Structure 1
Amino acid sequence: MKLQHLAIGARFEYEGQVFVKTGPLTASSEDGGQRIIPRHAVLRPLDLPSVEGKGRLEAPVVRMAFNAFVETCEQLVGEAGQAELEQARQRFLKAIDSSRPL
């Protein structure tokens, strides 16, 4: 794996040392030193997130989660923000209805 494929903060092994990516070309070693990692370097990623085959989201599940989110927002924004929140809700629903399947 190449450094540009790792997120900032990701841990990886390079030349027998463990590093944490701190920038586009830089990393900090566990010993505390900074190092420039060449773009051509092949790295061994550590702590990769497990990838589960979740597939696509089902529209009813997204709508239920979004409605629960909106209910919480309604309690937080008070009366003054209700109309604006409802407009945002309608824009979101319109956007997902007019887009391709989730």
Structure 2
Amino acid sequence: MSKICLALPEATRAIHSDYADFRVRKKVFAYFLNNHNGDGIVSVCVKSALGENVDQASTQPDRYYLPRYIGPRGWFGMRMDRGKIDWREVRNIVELSYC
């Protein structure tokens, strides 16, 4: 996750107790959450167009979800604790959020 995010121009990372955020010019474009707020979920969360996040989460609810606090603001999460991780997909959603 860090390798993908930090490869983007001007990207920085801040590590916190149960999550990391990735920023460009002080604006967050991705989060890595690890049991954030005790929810038991490991995921990457990215920003999408408002409404698209709901569509994404409803297409495959076993893989995608709306994060508790940031979901209502256009973010969705891709679960990384459910089997094999498709790193190309992670890269794609991170790059879309970065733009």
TM-score between the two structures when normalised by the length of structure 2: 0.22
Structure label with greater radius of gyration: 1
Q: Please state which structure has a larger fraction of its residues in helix.
A: 1
TM-score between the two structures when normalised by the length of structure 1: 0.21
